[in-house]
Each structure stands twice: as structure tokens, then as C-alpha cells.
Structure 1
Amino acid sequence: MTNLVFIILLSLFQGLAAIPWLLALEVLDFSTKSSRGRSIGLLGQILGGCVVILAPVLWIGGGETVARFYGTILQIQVVMGVGLLAPMALAPLWPKGASIAYATQREATRQPLFWLIVSGGFLVLVVSLVLPYFTYGEDYKMMYELGFDIVLFATMVFAALLASISVNEDIEGRTALTIISKPLSRRDFLLGKLAGIELSGFLLLFVLGTIFQLFLLFRQGIERMDPVPDPAWVASAIDRFNLGGSAESLLKGLAGWLALTAEVLPSLVLCLCQVSIITAISVALATRFPMMVTLPVIATIFFLAHLAPVLVSTVGGSGDAAGTGVVQMLKFTVGAFHAVLPDLELFRVNIAILGDTQLTVSGYWLHVGWSVVYAVIYASVPLLMGLVLFEGRDLG
């Protein structure tokens, strides 16, 4: 009986996780009396459908594989709920900017571009799952780093394109003039656009990141890696609630999923920091330049910002040639690029982190915390420049 109750609760929890994004998409609406009754009935149908459909699947096919797919769907729903409800959460504090952010995000997620990049990223992640890396036992580490690069690159391409489309085309098409003619400042317009693009990037990044997390578990099975021991709370819960069979397997599978989520989350936050900096630069450029100018500039900044720290360390260790004029000029040039451009290598998910070096969880999160501070400070600089450029632009 306890096993059945546990599986029914898991089924209901999946339905409850859908409520936030259904509210954000206005599928559920409790604002008026007439819509409230319809929404309550629809919610009951959703929860009942989850129990009718999911409970037999979890009961019959309960195991680690089913638990992984359950965790993937649940995590994607949580990401959608957080990303889509964020503009509504901003509304009481910043009503004008939140409305721009909400409209920008809705427009972005409905565009074919969003789904095209999600599909393309998914296909490339599938290739990375089955690709032989020929690394003599280090294939998992290579896939780990490559997967984050795929997720990061897909999100940055989307954010740069969306900034050019959403900001520059609104300005050139006089849409911005129409909006700003209302009681809305240019600052609220530009910051709202940035917030909407950032939230759209958050959705894309974490949806692809969740799919990549599922593929990591599959790769562990392909590599036949040693299973991770179950946490102590799993054994305690099994004994306390007398779980067995499918319920026990599901609980162990979900515990493994949560452990991997805790491992992957800080790396996704680092990727989001890098996306935020590139998005801020893209929005600033889009206030003055069209897409054909913005995209090459962003690509150049991205590659130079990753290359400059490597060149600084290389030129700094040039040995006997360090005193020559050519090397001194190279040092100055590289140092100038390194000082002006963001240090995007700071946000890389490096193999060194995944290797034999023992890095504590608190140490890694401390690094992530300082990286977030760095990203916020550095993203503020191009954003302020973009505000200055936008304030001085004639929209007429």
C-alpha cells in the first residue's frame, strides 16, 4: 500500500509542477470568478490525467531509467515555471520594465528561431553522446566539457540574434518610438528588453542543460562507470516508509538524479554568467548597429576574450626572449586586450575541475559566487554604454 501511495504522490507532483508555467502561459487563470471555475476543472483533469497515465508507467516500469526520464521532465517543468513566471514576479517592483520583459520573452519563445536552436542543440548533444573520443578511459570527462560548450554556444548564438532582432528592429521599425511615446522611459525600455532576452536565454540554457544531464547518465552506463553510492537519507526513507519494488528503485534513481543536478547546477550558472555578459554587449551594440554589424563584433569579442588570458600566460613565460622589443609589444597588446575584454575563461567548465584535483563543493560554489559578481559588474559596463547611446539616438 505504501508503494502505491508513493507512486501516486510522484504522479501528482509532476502535475503540480506544471501549474507555474500553465499560469504564466495563461492556460490557468484564477483572476476572475468565471475563469476560476474553468481553471479548477482543468487543473483537476491535469492532476487526474497524471495519475492515470504516469502511475501505471511508474508502477510497471519503475527503475533507474524511468526515474531519469521522470526527473528530466520534472526539471524542465521547474525551469519553465521559474523562467516564465519571473516577469510576473518583477511586476510589483518594476511594472513598466516587467511588461517589456514579458512581451520580449513571449515573442522570443514563440519564434521558430528558439525551437530551431533547441532542436539543433539537442541533435548535437545526441552526437556527443555516441561520439567516440579515443581518450583511453577519459571519454566521460571529454563529453562533460564538450556538452557544456555546446549548451553555452547555442544559448549565446540565440541571445545575440535575439538582441539584434528585438532591439534593433524595434528601433528601426519605429516600434520603440510608439512604446516610448507612452509613459515609458528609454531606460525602462532597454532594461526590459535585456531582462526578456536574459530570461529567454535562461530557458534555453537550462532546458538544454537538463537534456545534457540525462545524456551524462546514459554515458555513465555506456562507460560502465562505478555506480554512485546512495545517500544515507535514501536508506533511511526506504526503512521508514517500508518501500520496495518499483518504489524503492524509483527513489534510488531520483536520488542519483538529484546528486547529478547538484553537480551540474554550478556549471550551468557559470555558463549563464558568460551568456549574460555577451547579451549585455549585444543589446548595447543593437541600439546603434544592425545585425550584420553586431554579430561579427560579438564573435570577435567572444574569441578574443577567451584567447587573451591564454596569450597572457604564454607571453609571460616566454623566457629569454622576454626582453626583446617584439615580445614587449606583444605583451602590451595582449595585456590591453585582457584589461578591456571580459575574462570569459573564468567561466569555463574546465577539465582540471573534473580531473584528479580534489575540489570541495563549497570551494566550487565560492568560485561560482565570485564569478557571478564579476559577471554582474562587467555586464553593467556595456549596459551603461548602451543606455547612453540609446538616450542620444533620434527615434523619429
Structure 2
Amino acid sequence: MSNLSIWLKPIWLLSLGTTAGLVILIALWGILFLVNRRAAAGVLSSIREGILLPVTYTLAILGVLALLATPTMNVSEVLDSLKRMTAVGQVEVTATIPANTPDFPLEISFRPEELQSYSFVSEQDLAVNTEKGKGYIEPVVQIEGNQLYIWSPGSSLPRSFEEEVETLYFTNETDLPSELTVIFTSDVAMPEVHYLRVAALSVVGLYLGYLLINLVAPKAAIIAAATSKEAISQPLFMLLTVIGIAALLLYVYVPYNTFGEDVKMLKTSGMATIKVLAIIFALWTASVSVADEIEGRTALTVLSKPVSRRQFILGKFLGIVWPILLMFLILGTVFLLTVSYKVVYDARESAKTVPIWTECFAEVVRIVPGLVLAFFEAVVMAAISVAISTRLSMLPNLIICGSIYVLGHLGPLIVKSSAGEIVFVKFIGRLISIVLPVLDHYEIEGAIAGSSAVPTEYLLLALIYSLLYCAAAMLLALLFFEDRDLA
């Protein structure tokens, strides 16, 4: 496999997942078209007029890249693993093996190359075979009574099974029946294909979530679509995106002098760059689309129509979130490419053995949770900026939000530091942590750079925290805006 195929294969796999998501959406739209053509036309209109159009273009580009790279990839291995996804997993079987019984059958099917671990626990000595008639003559595995027999790839025991198995036969030559518990854990030959499903479901969830918001809050969605269009058309969006892409590409070739740990520095630098650029764009857009419209009496024109102030604020907030999402999608894709390439680049520059593609894939998937958390942080800052923009202009908004960003990261550190032992300092630190968002929750660059997995539960808790804080910020924005004189 060439160096190009090595670092490109992780992105190719993820692109297959996003393309599959688009195919699923097209199929769903086709069903809707057959059932209700008017609703199908409305869905297309929502996609064309909102943020989903540039998102679709971005995903389509990924699909084209995946198609172009397919001839250089081992497609059969991917297809075989996809077919086997429903046949693998953990199988636990409990049975009673009668006394003096040869070849007691238990239907347990697996492929040896897919085994991750297996274990046997029995009250009596047993012999395990894959064929009848062998018993204790040629046992594949011999189990001792009341002793846990467990195999995993790192254990000293042999795997024992070398061919595909459909049924295991257990021989009990003792005079007592034996309670047996068997646990087999298997996975597909290419475990990375699980992320195809995650990518596809993420794409489907994004589109359905956007359309659901349009259905539930149509007036706010119209304001959001207009705001997001205006934000994307501004030179700042293109400027920050270009700066981000250039910085991410430059980080690949920057010598960090970390003795083989340059990938970790790249991940930390890239994550911080994307997050800061997104927050800058969010603060600027909130000031322009909310504060300037209020000062310029544009908001009065909008509110003179059958649009409530609540719908106006919610629409403005969503109209800022969608461009942030698009920026994360574009810069995040470039970031994944640079991280994957950096693994191969560092190995070549350090005269090390050429890495395999799974090493690149592992580095790539570790940074995805960090991008998700960075997006949550940018959304929280956008919500705060919208609330402040209902009363203050751009400059005070930027100063206050900048202060909140700094204090949001320093609050927990103040409490944990030695200075936090002082009662007053400890009180201030806790007050900051309660009133202001604890942005330190979103900082996991150390875990990502240190090759530590981020639990899904942590992402869910961060999502709930972000939603609650955004809801609180929106309520505050409504309080500020409700009695604001727009005339």
C-alpha cells in the first residue's frame, strides 16, 4: 500500500459513511415524494434556502473523493466486514452438561479471525471440540473444574480455534453434571467499519434535525435561514475559513521538536485554532445580526410582521449556530486529513517504519469527540453573545464575551489552586463556576493528545450542559429584549 493510500484510507472510510447517509436521505425523500409531493417539494425548498445547501455541497465533495479513491482501496474487505456486522458481538450461553456425556452440542458460531476473547467456566472438567468423536483424545480446549479459562489476544494461551465454527461439542466424563457458562466476544475483521454507521447516522440526524426545527418553529427557521445566508456571504466567514485551512496545513510541516510526538502537538494546535476561529465568528455575527439590526431599526421592520420577539431571538441564535456548524464541518474535514497525513509524514521524516493505515485511523477518530466538544463551546459562547447583543453594541459585546471566555476557563483552576484555599478567592471561583459556563469541561485536548478515549457518556453530559446553558442564555436574551425600545 502506497503512502497516499495509507493516510487517505481513514478519510475514505468516513467519506463512505457520510455518502451512505446522503443515499439514505435521498431514499427517504423518494418515499416522501411518492406519498406527498407537496411535502417533498417543501423539504427541497428548505434545503436549498438554508444552511443544508452548502453542507450538502461539502458532503458531495467528500463523496466524490471517496469515489475517486475507491479503485486504490480494498473494497471487498470493507463489504465483507459490513456483511458480518450483524453476526458478531458477545454471545453468552449457559447450559448443563449431563454426567458421562460425550459430545454435548452447543450452537456457537464464529470465525477465528474475528475472535476478541472467549471464556469457559465449568463445575467439572470438560473437553471442548469442534468435531464429534474426539472427546479427551484430541481436545481443542480442556477446561478444569471451577477454574476460569479465558483467552484474549494478549494472553499466554493459544487461540486454539483455527477454522470457522458452527457448533462446539463438550465432553463430561465425570459422574456429576456440570453447569457451564460460555462467553464469546467477536468483531468484524475490519472494526473501523463501525464508524461508517456513526458517520451515516450523524448525517441523517443533522438533516432530520434541521427539518424538524423548520417544522416546529417555521418563523424562527425563516429568520435563521436569512441570518445564516447573510453570515456565510460575509467576507469574514471566508477569511476565517481560509485562515483556518492554511493554519491546519501549515501545522503539518512545523517542527515541534517533541521527539516523535508531533502528532499530539498538531492535534492540540488544530483543535484550538478551529475553536477560536469559530468563536470569533460567532461573536462577530451575533453583534452584526442582532445589535446592529436593533440599532439600525431593521429589527423593528421584522417585528412589525407577525413575528414575536421570542421567534426573532431564537431565529437569530439558530442563524448563528448553522454557519458555525458549517465552519466546523469544513475545517474539521481538513483537520482529519492533516492528522492522518501527519502520522505518515512524521514516520518518513524520522526514518521510522511506514505506519499502517489503522494507526492513521486511530489518530483521526480520537479527535472527533474533541471537535464535537469544541462545537458545543462555540455554541454556548454564541448564545451568550446573542443575549448581550440585545442590549450592547459590538465592542462591549466582544470585551464581555472575551472576559467570560477567560473566566470560564479559569474558574475551576482558581478553586483547585492553592489560592483557592483562601475563603474569598474560593467563593469567587465557585461563583464564577456557577454563573458563567464552565468552559473547562470542553477542554480535553490533553486526553485526545494522550491517546485516551473520550466516553460517549461524557459527550452526552456535555450536550445536556450546553443545551441547558443555551436555554438559560436565551431566556436572559428574552428578558433583555422584551422591554427594549426599538423605535
TM-score normalized with structure 2 length: 0.57
Note closer, same or farther for the CA distance 1:55–1:147 as it changes in structure 2 (3 Å cut).
closer
**DSSP 3-state at the match of 2:355:** coil
Q: Tell whether 2:182 aligns with 1:182.
A: no
- RMSD, aligned CA: 3.8
Corresponding residue for residue 238 of structure 1 = none
Amino acid at match of 2:227: T
Contact 2:297 2:486 in 1 (8 A): yes
Instruction: After superposition, give the CA deviation of every residue in 1:138-162 in whole Å (9 maximum; x if it has no partner).
Output: 2111211111111100100001100
**Match of 2:413, as an amino acid?**
V
Aligned counterparts of 2:462 and 2:408: Cα–Cα separation in 1: 15
Equivalent of residue 373 in structure 1, options 436, 453, 464: 464
Separation of aligned partners in 1, 2:67 and 2:389: 52
Deviations 1:377-396 (A, max 9, x none): 12222221111110010111
Unaligned runs of 5+ in 2: 1-11, 30-39, 46-56, 75-197
Residue aligning to 2:249: 126
Q: Quick check: 1:328 aligned with 2:419?
A: no
Distance 1:187 1:170 in 2: 16
Amino acid across the alignment from 1:227:
P
Contact 1:301–1:341 (Cα < 8 Å) also in 2: yes
What does residue 194 of structure 1 align with? 317
Secondary structure at 1:91's aligned position in 2? helix
The correspondence of residues 142-161 of structure 1 with structure 2, limited to 5 A, is: 142-161=265-284
Specify whether residues 85 and 158 from structure 1 end up closer, same or farther in structure 2 by C-alpha distance, changes over 3 A only: farther
Distance, in Å, in 1 between the alignment partners of 2:245 and 2:357 is 30
Matched, 1:307 2:410: yes
Letter in 2 for 1:294: N
Aligned-residue offset at 1:88: 4.3
Alignment of 1:381-392 (within 5 A): 381-392=472-483
With over 3 angstroms needed to count, the CA separation of the structure-2 counterparts of 1:158 and 1:130, relative to structure 1, is same
Q: Secondary structure at the match of 1:274?
A: helix
Give the Cα–Cα distance (whole angstroms) in 2 for the partners of residues 112 and 77 of structure 1. Answer: 32
User: Larger C-alpha radius of gyration, 1 or 2?
Assistant: 2
Aligned to 2:159: none
User: Could you say which residue in structure 2 is the equivalent of 1:116?
Assistant: 239
Q: Secondary structure at the match of 1:288?
A: coil
Does the 8 A contact of 2:21 with 2:201 survive in 1? no
Deviation at 1:81, TM superposition (A): 9.4
Alpha carbons of 1:16 and 1:345: their partners in 2 closer, same or farther (altered >3 Å)?
A: closer
* 1:173 corresponds to which of 282, 286, 296: 296
Comparing 303-312 with 157-166, greater Cα deviation is found at 303-312
Cα displacement (A) at 1:113: 1.2
Aligned to 2:450: 355
Q: Which amino acid aligns with 2:382?
A: T
Alignment of 1:43-82 (within 5 A): 58=69, 62=72
Q: Give the distance between the partners of 1:197 and 1:56, measured in 2 at CA.
A: 33
Partner residue of 1:289 out of 375, 389, 392: 392
Q: What is the SS of the residue equivalent to 2:417?
A: helix
Deviation for aligned residue 1:308: 1.7
For residues 124-273 of structure 1, what are the structure 2 equivalents within 5 Å? 124-224=247-347, 227=355, 262-273=365-376
TM-superposition CA deviations, 1:181-205 (whole Å, max 9, x none): 1111000010011011011111111
Note if contact 1:76-1:207 (Cα within 8 Å) is conserved in structure 2.
Answer: no
- Describe how 1:24-35 pairs up with structure 2 within 5 A: 31=41
CA contact (8 A) 2:340 2:364 kept: no
Cα pair distance change 1:301/1:373, threshold 3 Å = same
Match of 1:3 in 2: none
TM-score with structure 1 length normalisation? 0.69
**Alignment gaps of 5+ in structure 1:** 1-6, 24-29, 36-45, 65-74, 231-254
Change in Cα spacing, 1:286 to 1:59, as seen in structure 2 (3 Å) is closer
Matches of 2:70 and 2:214 in 1, distance apart?
Answer: 42
Please state how far the C-alpha of 1:375 moved relative to its aligned partner: 1.2
Residue 193 of structure 1: SS of its match in structure 2?
helix
Letter in 2 for 1:389: F
**Could you report, residue by residue, the CA deviation over 1:13-58 in whole angstroms, capped at 9, with x for unpaired residues?**
969959989x9xxxxxx849xx9xxxxxxxxxx9xxx9xx979954
Question: Which structure features the higher share of strand residues?
Answer: 2
The structural deviation recorded for 1:136 is 2.1
Q: Give the secondary-structure state (helix, strand or coil) at the position aligned to 2:215.
A: coil
**Structure with more of its chain in helix, by fraction:** 1
Contact 1:151–1:208, Cα closer than 8 Å, also in 2: yes
Q: Distance in 2 between matches of 1:384 and 1:192?
A: 14
Report how many aligned residue pairs link the two structures: 317
Offset of 1:332 from its aligned partner? 2.7
For the pair 1:395 / 2:462, whether they are aligned, the reply is: no
Q: Deviations over 1:56-107 (max 9, x none)?
A: 95477x369xxxxxxxxxx999999987886544222211111111111111
Residue 56 to residue 164, structure 1, CA distance change in 2 (3 Å): closer
Aligned residues of 1:282 and 1:294 also touching (Cα < 8 A): yes
Specify the code of the residue in structure 1 equivalent to 2:314. Answer: L
Structure 1 residues 347 and 58, CA, compared in 2 at 3 Å: closer, same or farther? closer
Deviation for aligned residue 1:365: 1.1
The letter of the residue matching 2:285 is L
Q: Is the 8 A contact 2:279 2:381 kept in 1?
A: yes
Counterpart Cα distance in 2 of 1:90 and 1:118: 26
Counterpart selection for 1:342 from 418, 437, 448: 437
C-alpha distance in structure 2 between counterparts of 1:383 and 1:272, whole Å: 18
- From the superposition, tell whether residues 18 and 113 of structure 1 become closer, same or farther in structure 2 (CA, over 3 Å): farther
Distance 2:218 2:384 in 1: 25
Report the Cα distance in structure 2 between the residues aligned to 1:168 and 1:76, rounded to whole angstroms. 37
Cα contact 1:145–1:349 (8 A) shared by 2: no
Local SS of the residue matching 1:92? helix
Amino-acid identity (%): 33
